[in-house]
Structure 1
């Protein structure tokens, strides 16, 4: 969970918003494995997340100048990009479950 997710989660809890929702911990629990790849070009980082159901999600990070490449920053950005995709997928699944429960 990154600092932004943590702050938002604290605000949601403080406001007592407790309807069904996706939480950062839920996102964390969907991730089974994290792998980072760095192609030979030297300015690209790819994060591959394998989810508990076997589905894979990727995130990428690249810099224009090789002199600015930092492996840790690249990994953090690529991981965050991949996590954002999980939020969208899990949000859709929750909305579908809520929809099916009302019909």
Structure 2
């Protein structure tokens, strides 16, 4: 495996191992907490303007995509930092 890349399979494994909770707030907001296997917690939110348009499933999908992107960013930072410490 190329040590200069974060692979989608790595992110999938991290996401699959995460403990995730989903909450509805104020009738128009979704809150997702993802506790990674290392104990680090990522929290994301999604809300709509009008509670009549609120859809928890859509809110959860938006939040989970944001969590995934954050995991990708953190893994990239970790790998870059680890590689820099070696050089």
Which runs of no fewer than 5 residues in structure 1 stay unpaired? 1-17
Bigger RCO (CA 8 Å, 6+ sep): 2
Structure 1 stretch displaced more, 80-89 or 90-99: 80-89
CA RMSD of aligned residues (A): 1.4
| Kept in 2: contact 1:59–1:80 (CA 8 A) | no
- Alignment partner for residue 46 of structure 2, among 55, 61, 68? 61
When Rg is computed on C-alpha atoms for both structures, the one with the higher figure is 1
Structure 2 segments unaligned to the other structure (5+ residues): none
Give deviations 1:21-75, integer Å, cap 9, x for gaps: 1122211222321111112x11110111110101100111110011111111111
SS of 1:67 mapped into structure 2 = helix
Query: TM-score when scaled to structure 1?
Result: 0.74
State the 1:20 CA deviation.
Answer: 2.2
**Paired residue for 1:98?**
83
SS in 2 for 1:38: strand
